[in-house]
A and B are shown apart, each in its own frame.
Chain A
Amino acid sequence: MTPILSATNLSKTFGSGDSAVHAVTDVSLQVQPGELILIKGPSGSGKTTLLSILGGLMRADTGVVSLAGQELTALGEGALAELRARKIGFVFQAYNLLGALNVEENILFPARLIPGHYAKARQQAAPLIERLGLTHRRKARPHQLSGGEKQRVAVARALINDPPLILADEPTGNLDSERGSEVAMLLHDIARKDNRAVVIVTHDQRIEDIADRILWLEDGRIRDRKQEPHEWTRDPVCGMRVDRWVARNVADYEDVAYAFCSADCHERFVADPARFAPTS
């Protein structure tokens, strides 16, 4: 399968001489459509820098980034801005909603940046708003929303231009457990149901379960944590690949052990195991 996002030998250094900080060192990665990847690592490990480079907001010193076959590193500022609008959806920890605009206007803001796209986006907005449970809040301003609602608006905004790639920076960082899980499942569904690539930078242990891969970034270098010893199986509810070694949501049914990608899938299975358990 052709990766939607491909990064090869990316390096980025801030400063020079003794004070030089190697934020990203020789990082390569590929992300497939429908794949959800977590990038984890200690503070200051270069996660945000890597996400900025992948999102075309910062240029690497060396290396190449390609998105949907288009090489970001070869694009000028104008073309890069257009590519961000068309092909990347951003979700931020601080939501970054525009204070003057209401929910619907915030969601549609990226659509205004693509000439001729607004009318079509308006039609798409209504089902998207409904899908994210924001119908009753569509005229509310950001300061009138809860954290969970704000992040759902941010997710809807990221989806409005139908981009193949979603980049999320600590999307659950400002949310309580319940709202965090809600947003994590939302991102999971976006990857699974919409077949989009989702890259999440996070410290949140709770959303490890939903990831296809977890990349560990430390001192600017990256390694694939799930390449370590594992036993792959399929979540019987959503079909996602799950590592039995790290899966925390498990259940037994008719002497068979099942592992789930998330608590949500686990609950759905427990409620009606016969529906999801594979027939022999």
Chain B
Amino acid sequence: MVYWTFKSLFSQPMALFGAAVGIALALILGLFLDAVFRGEASQILTFVERSPGEVWVLEAGVENLHMARSVVPEPAIAATGAVTGVKTFMPLLYRDGLLGPRGEELFAYVAGIPADPDQRTLWQQTTGWTAPEPGGITLPRPMSAGDGYQLGDTIAVSGADYTVTGFSDGTFSMANPLVFIDEADARRQFVLDRGANMVLVLADTGIDPAILAKNIEAEVPGVRALTRTQLMANDYALALDMGGALIAMMGAIGTGVAALIVAFTAYAFVSVRIGELAVAKALGAPQHQLILSAMVQTGLVALLGVALGLGAIVPMQAALSAWVPEVAVQFSFVTALQLGAATFVAAELAALIPAIYVQKVDPALVFNA
């Protein structure tokens, strides 16, 4: 039976490949939905992750960057800089705005990069993103590929025009892209003469950012100090809260559809072999061997499908980035393994139906032409 099981499986390579591709596509569908969510979340967090702030000082009560209209007053900024253990501190303007021509605006976050040469240099070295000159703007790179913006083009931020002087990577999400302008432009745009929306702090060597954050909160009244890790966790949780239900629903539908595809593919794959399984039964093959044969065949098809699906991730990520750059996708190997295992189980469960059917095989199936 084992011999026949394998020979039968590989005797029709096109059928085998077709079934494996069906399973691979189902797996990719599940992975894609997860990757879109991960990509979006990753874009939201990239700004915090890369910026030169081990400790982020915000207005008291603010826990994430979504509350972007909060303000840290100038005395608090100065007091933060005076806390022992602070190596450098960078006041940053950061607010929501509308990006693009009237009628086609995109909700965006706008960051004003300090004009101080040392801080500009630190910013560029740390983030890798261009700190724009007055009148200039750094756009997320997908807006170049997707919307056709080039260096030197003009784009409006809440009605004021800026010239595109650079592009940044990792700052575009469908929900809220992030752009950078000069501090002075931002002050004029935000109508904020003094203070800042946040202060980014780097700790002295050997100073634990968590302890420094506590010290800042203790010494500077009216501020909330969060380590980078805390702020990223808060922003990620917020992203989940905002899109969680939708993403969960999409994920459930996607996973359901994928499971159906896998189940149907496995069922069809075994069903076309029902006739031969029935012949084997008539000739004396015991039930357990017939079921095992169907399960082994389906298992191998599922494994091949999972391998194809996993193998397609890397080229798919590259292709998607080139094809739809405005959609951030980030495949997860761990999720891929989890979904792969789930796919395998779904395929095996689906194969049980025709395999069990073989137990009750109609003799007419073998006796009639």
**Do A174 and B284 form a contact, CB below 8 Å, given A58-B363, A98-B4, A99-B11?**
no
Query: Shortest beta-carbon distance, B261 to chain A, in Å?
Result: 26
Alpha-carbon distance between A92 and B285 when the two chains are bound, in angstroms? 17
Identify the stretch in A83-91, A254-262, A268-276 within 8 Å (CB) of chain B at 4 or more residues. A83-91
Tell whether, in the assembled complex, residue B364 and residue A48 are in contact, meaning their CB atoms are under 8 Å apart.
yes
Report if A78 contacts B (CB, 8 A): yes
**Do A110 and B283 form a contact, CB below 8 Å, given A98-B4, A100-B4, A101-B7?**
yes
Tell whether, in the assembled complex, residue A113 and residue B7 are in contact, meaning their CB atoms are under 8 Å apart.
no
Tell whether, in the assembled complex, residue B1 and residue A84 are in contact, meaning their CB atoms are under 8 Å apart.
no
> Residue A100 contacts which of B11, B286, B363, B364 (CB distance < 8 angstroms)?
B11
**Do A48 and B284 form a contact, CB below 8 Å, given A96-B279, A113-B1?**
no
**Do A93 and B285 form a contact, CB below 8 Å, given A98-B4, A101-B4?**
no
**Do A81 and B369 form a contact, CB below 8 Å, given A55-B282, A96-B279, A100-B4?**
no
Tell whether, in the assembled complex, residue B1 and residue A105 are in contact, meaning their CB atoms are under 8 Å apart.
no
Tell whether, in the assembled complex, residue B366 and residue A112 are in contact, meaning their CB atoms are under 8 Å apart.
no
| Chain A 105-135 residues near chain B, CB threshold 8 A | 105, 109-110, 112-114
> Residue A48 contacts which of B7, B276, B363 (CB distance < 8 angstroms)?
B363
Chain B 1-28 per-residue mask, 1 if CB under 8 angstroms from chain A, else 0:
1011001111110000000000000000
**Do A94 and B369 form a contact, CB below 8 Å, given A81-B285, A81-B287, A113-B1?**
yes
Nearest residue in A to B9 (C-beta to C-beta)? A100
Alpha-carbon distance between A169 and B282 when the two chains are bound, in angstroms? 13
Alpha-carbon distance between A94 and B368 when the two chains are bound, in angstroms? 7
Query: Shortest beta-carbon distance, A58 to chain B, in Å?
Result: 5
**Do A81 and B368 form a contact, CB below 8 Å, given A101-B7, A112-B1?**
no
Nearest residue in B to A94 (C-beta to C-beta)? B369
Tell whether, in the assembled complex, residue A109 and residue B283 are in contact, meaning their CB atoms are under 8 Å apart.
yes
Alpha-carbon distance between A77 and B226 when the two chains are bound, in angstroms? 70
| Chain B 341-365 residues near chain A, CB threshold 8 A | 359, 361, 363-364
Report if A73 contacts B (CB, 8 A): no
| Chain A 41-76 residues near chain B, CB threshold 8 A | 48-49, 51-52, 55, 57-58
| Chain B 287-304 residues near chain A, CB threshold 8 A | 287, 289
Number of B interface residues at 8 Å Cβ cutoff, please give it. 29
Tell whether, in the assembled complex, residue A84 and residue B369 are in contact, meaning their CB atoms are under 8 Å apart.
no
Alpha-carbon distance between A98 and B6 when the two chains are bound, in angstroms? 13
Which A residues lie within 8 Å of B361 (CB)? 57
> Residue B287 contacts which of A77, A84, A109 (CB distance < 8 angstroms)?
A77
Query: Shortest beta-carbon distance, A151 to chain B, in Å?
Result: 12
Report if A239 contacts B (CB, 8 A): no
**Do A81 and B286 form a contact, CB below 8 Å, given A57-B363, A93-B367, A98-B280?**
yes
Alpha-carbon distance between A218 and B117 when the two chains are bound, in angstroms? 106
Alpha-carbon distance between A245 and B284 when the two chains are bound, in angstroms? 41
Nearest residue in B to A96 (C-beta to C-beta)? B279
Which A residues lie within 8 Å of B38 (CB)? none
Report if A176 contacts B (CB, 8 A): no
Tell whether, in the assembled complex, residue B3 and residue A112 are in contact, meaning their CB atoms are under 8 Å apart.
yes
Alpha-carbon distance between A96 and B277 when the two chains are bound, in angstroms? 11
Report if B281 contacts A (CB, 8 A): yes
Tell whether, in the assembled complex, residue B367 and residue A85 are in contact, meaning their CB atoms are under 8 Å apart.
no
Alpha-carbon distance between A90 and B367 when the two chains are bound, in angstroms? 9
Nearest residue in A to B6 (C-beta to C-beta)? A100
Known: A77-B287, A81-B286, A85-B283. 5 other contacts (CB 8 A): A84-B283, A92-B366, A92-B367, A100-B4, A101-B4
The 6 A-B pairs with the shortest beta carbon distances in the complex, nearest first, are A85-B284, A100-B11, A52-B363, A94-B369, A100-B8, A57-B363
